[in-house]
A = this chain, B = another copy of it.
Amino acid sequence: MNIYDISKKAGVSIATVSRVLNNSSKVSEQTRRKVLAVMKENSYTPNAFARSLGLNSMHTVGIMCADSSDVYLAQAIYYLERELRNNGYASMLCCTGYQLEEKEKYLQLLLSRNVDAIFFVGSNFVEDTDDRNNYLYTTANRIPIFLLNGHIAAPNIYSVLCDDYQAILDITNEVLRTGSHQPIYLYRSLSYSGRRKLAGFTDACLEHGLSFEEERSFLCPVSLDNTREFLSSLEANGVVFDSVIAADDELAAGAVKYALASGKSIPGQIQITGYNNSMFSTCSTPEITTIDNRVEFMCTTAVSLLMQAFQHKSIPAKTTFSGTVVHRQTTRPF
């Protein structure tokens, strides 16, 4: 449905349609009502209008994330915006929280602004079932979409992600080889990336012949104080652990707070590892051994792929890269 269709259906000229949209006083009330009725019948919006007039690219790209104040996501937004800007594209930011209904609702805010593509930052955008991922499929019917740290196989959906499984496998192996026998794993979600990380932890434990008769992985409340209290209560409930593999640096920083509060030496009595190589890992004392999952590389790669797609080049549906262990003070020398 475009301006020509509207003018045809309403039996008026294109100029008249323009005048109606423009609130011009040169249109009779009767004509105005007729044109508006046709627009309404055909779910016609000014943006679709702009698009039909050849304004089909606003040179604007959407960035969706759960929470832009999250340290890791804030980094990703920073790099994406910088790379897009360097390519002449503006960035439209939209934060959705973690609920599917909100994601679907706020996605419309970006789509109604005619963005040329959307980056979904964080694996929480990949839902469990095809049905719940429908919002991604429908969006990809219109514009290319990129999942950063998530993956789903579907047309016009591109993934750029760190090999989280391998990274957690590596760091857990290091902790187990330097004398820890009772590792626990802390996480705050089992998103796509969260499940891959947990699998890496589990496989490393199995490689070292550790039993899983007792629970070794725990959904842990976020915020430093809550993590500290959670670990204290685990200990009070008889869970024995000599190392904490955390799914992100904030959880690891909470574990450091726990060790300091309960008088455990780090890394002598307890080893702790994080993930993301964020400021949580350097701000803590002792500084935290963590995984550098290359957020800058991920973002520059994703924008570079998008620019190639805009030039009608073929780009890979999935690009995976490896992370690296960054050795600091919360683990024993490896």
B90, A21: Cβ atoms closer than 8 Å: no
**Would you call A113 an interface residue if the criterion is a C-beta within 8 Å of the partner chain's C-beta atoms?**
yes
Nearest B residue to A21, CB-CB: B54
**Would you call A240 an interface residue if the criterion is a C-beta within 8 Å of the partner chain's C-beta atoms?**
no
Nearest B residue to A82, CB-CB: B95
Rounded to whole angstroms, the CA-CA distance of A114 and B217 in the bound complex is 50
**Would you call A253 an interface residue if the criterion is a C-beta within 8 Å of the partner chain's C-beta atoms?**
yes
- On chain B, the residues within 8 Å of A55 by CB distance are 21, 46-47, 49-50
B109, A85: Cβ atoms closer than 8 Å: yes
- On chain B, the residues within 8 Å of A68 by CB distance are 68, 74, 77-78, 81
Rounded to whole angstroms, the CA-CA distance of A109 and B85 in the bound complex is 8
**Would you call A279 an interface residue if the criterion is a C-beta within 8 Å of the partner chain's C-beta atoms?**
yes
Partner of A85 from B74, B85, B106 at Cβ < 8 Å: B106
**Would you call A32 an interface residue if the criterion is a C-beta within 8 Å of the partner chain's C-beta atoms?**
no
Q: Which of A277-291 contact B (CB under 8 A)?
A: 279-280, 282-285
- On chain B, the residues within 8 Å of A46 by CB distance are 53-55
B283, A53: Cβ atoms closer than 8 Å: no
Partner of A91 from B23, B50, B93 at Cβ < 8 Å: B93
CB-CB contacts of A3-31 with B at 8 A, as 1s and 0s? 11000000001110010111100000000
**Would you call A71 an interface residue if the criterion is a C-beta within 8 Å of the partner chain's C-beta atoms?**
yes
- On chain B, the residues within 8 Å of A60 by CB distance are 92, 113
- On chain B, the residues within 8 Å of A100 by CB distance are none
Rounded to whole angstroms, the CA-CA distance of A216 and B15 in the bound complex is 69
A282, B224: Cβ atoms closer than 8 Å: yes
- On chain B, the residues within 8 Å of A81 by CB distance are 68, 93-95
Q: Which of A69-118 contact B (CB under 8 A)?
A: 69, 71, 74-75, 77-78, 81-82, 85, 90-95, 106, 109-110, 113
Rounded to whole angstroms, the CA-CA distance of A58 and B13 in the bound complex is 25
- On chain B, the residues within 8 Å of A3 by CB distance are 18
A53, B49: Cβ atoms closer than 8 Å: yes
- Give the shortest distance, in Å, between A290 (CB) and chain B (any CB): 14
Rounded to whole angstroms, the CA-CA distance of A215 and B90 in the bound complex is 45
Nearest B residue to A68, CB-CB: B78
**Would you call A210 an interface residue if the criterion is a C-beta within 8 Å of the partner chain's C-beta atoms?**
no
Rounded to whole angstroms, the CA-CA distance of A50 and B4 in the bound complex is 16
Closest CB pairs A-B (n = 7):
A21-B54, A69-B78, A22-B54, A74-B74, A283-B283, A93-B93, A68-B78
